[in-house]
Amino acid sequence: MDENTKPTNFIRDFIDEDIKSNKHNGKVITRFPPEPNGYLHIGHAKSICLNFGIAIDYHGLCNLRFDDTNPTKEEVEYVESIEEDVRWLGFDWDDRMYYASDYFQKLYDFAVQLIKEGKAYVDASTTEEIKDHRGVPTEAGTESPYRNRPIEESLELFEGMKDGKYEDGKYVLRAKVDMNSPNMIMRDPVIYRIKKAEHHRTGNKWCIYPMYDYAHPISDWIEGITHSLCTLEFEIHRPIYDWFLIELHLENRPRQIEFARLSLNYTIMSKRKLLELVEGKYVAGWDDPRMPTISGLRRRGYTPESIRNFAEKVGVAKRDAITDVALLEHSIREDLNKRAPRVMAVLNPLKVIITNYPDDKTEDLEAINNPEDLSAGTRKLEFSKVVYIEQDDFKEIPPPKFKRLIPGGEVRLKNAYIIKCDEVIKNENGDVIELHCTFDPETKSGSEGSKRKVKGTIHWVSASNAIKMEVRLYDRLFLVENPDADAEKDFKELLNPHSLDILNECLIEPGIANAKPGDKFQFERLGYFCVDPLSNDEKIVFNRTVSLRDTWAKIETKNK
Ligand code: ATP
Ligand code: MG
Q: How far is the CA of 44 from the centre of ligand 1 (A)?
A: 6
The predicted-structure confidence for 187-227, as pLDDT tens digits, reads as follows 999 999 999 999 999 999 999 999 999 999 999 999 999 99
Report which ligand 1 atom has the smallest distance to the Cα of 40. Answer: 10
Report which ligand 1 atom has the smallest distance to the Cα of 271. Answer: 3
Q: How far is the CA of 34 from the centre of ligand 2 (A)?
A: 7
Task: Give catalytic status of residue 261 as yes or no.
Answer: yes
The predicted-structure confidence for 303-326, as pLDDT tens digits, reads as follows 999 999 999 999 999 998 999 999
CA atoms within 13 A on the CB side of 81: 22
Considering only CA atoms, which residue is closest to atom 15 of ligand 1? 34
Q: How far is the CA of 285 from the centre of ligand 1 (A)?
A: 20
Say which DSSP state 406 is in. -
What's the distance, CA 518 to chain centroid? 17
Interatomic CA distance for residues 331 and 45, integer angstroms = 14
Q: Quick one: pLDDT at residue 488?
A: 85
Catalytic residue among 6, 12, 35, 420: 35
Catalytic residue among 65, 271, 308, 404: 271
Sequence-ordered list of residues with C-beta below 8 angstroms from that of 294, at least 6 positions apart, any chain: 39, 40, 41, 42, 44, 45, 85, 88, 89, 307
Q: Does 2.60.40.1180 match the CATH number of domain 345-459?
A: no
Write out residues with Cβ below 6 Å of ligand 1.
33-35, 37, 43-44, 46-47, 67, 230-231, 261-262, 269-272
Say which DSSP state 24 is in. G
Considering only CA atoms, which residue is closest to atom 26 of ligand 1? 43
Question: Which regions of the chain carry the CATH code 3.40.50.620?
Answer: 10-259
Interatomic CA distance for residues 271 and 478, integer angstroms = 16
Considering only CA atoms, which residue is closest to atom 9 of ligand 1? 34
Q: Quick one: pLDDT at residue 6?
A: 66
| 189 within 8 A of 175, measured Cβ to Cβ | yes
Sequence-ordered list of residues with C-beta below 8 angstroms from that of 334, at least 6 positions apart, any chain: 306, 309
The 3-state DSSP class for residue 529 equals strand
Q: Quick one: pLDDT at residue 1?
A: 47
| 330 within 8 A of 548, measured Cβ to Cβ | no
**Strand partners for 420:** 410, 438
Interatomic CA distance for residues 534 and 541, integer angstroms = 7
Phi first, then psi, for residue 512 (nearest 5°) are: -75, -15
- Ligand 1 pocket test: which of 66, 67, 231 has the largest number of ligand atoms within 8 Å of its C-beta? 231
CATH number given to 10-259: 3.40.50.620
Count of C-beta atoms within a 10 Å radius of residue 500:
17
Report which ligand 1 atom has the smallest distance to the Cα of 47. Answer: 30
**Strand pairing report for 349-354 and 345-346:** unpaired
Q: How far is the CA of 507 from the centre of ligand 1 (A)?
A: 42
Interatomic CA distance for residues 542 and 391, integer angstroms = 19
282 CB burial (10 A radius; 0-12, 13-18, 19+)? middle
Q: Please give the C-alpha separations between residue 288 and each of 245, 293, 353, 523, in angstroms, as whole numbers.
A: 42, 8, 39, 22
How many residues are listed for the chain in this entry?
Answer: 560
* Residue ranges in the chain whose pLDDT is less than 50: 1-3
Considering only CA atoms, which residue is closest to atom 29 of ligand 1? 261
Interatomic CA distance for residues 85 and 286, integer angstroms = 12
Sequence-ordered list of residues with C-beta below 8 angstroms from that of 201, at least 6 positions apart, any chain: 68, 99, 101
**Strand pairing report for 61-66 and 29-32:** parallel
- CATH number belonging to the domain at 271-341+469-559, selected among 3.40.630.30, 1.10.10.10, 2.30.30.90, 2.40.240.10: 2.40.240.10
Q: How far is the CA of 447 from the centre of ligand 1 (A)?
A: 58
Q: How far is the CA of 45 from the centre of ligand 1 (A)?
A: 9
Catalytic residue among 23, 96, 149, 261: 261
Q: How far is the CA of 235 from the centre of ligand 1 (A)?
A: 14
Q: Quick one: pLDDT at residue 72?
A: 78
Question: Which regions of the chain carry the CATH code 2.40.240.10?
Answer: 271-341+469-559, 345-459
The 3-state DSSP class for residue 47 equals helix
Sequence-ordered list of residues with C-beta below 8 angstroms from that of 397, at least 6 positions apart, any chain: none
Q: Quick one: pLDDT at residue 64?
A: 98
The 3-state DSSP class for residue 276 equals helix
Q: Name the closest ligand to CA 262.
A: 1
- Ligand 1 pocket test: which of 39, 44, 51, 230 has the largest number of ligand atoms within 8 Å of its C-beta? 44
Interatomic CA distance for residues 253 and 112, integer angstroms = 20
Report which ligand 1 atom has the smallest distance to the Cα of 262. Answer: 28
Phi first, then psi, for residue 270 (nearest 5°) are: -75, 130
CA atoms within 13 A on the CB side of 248: 27
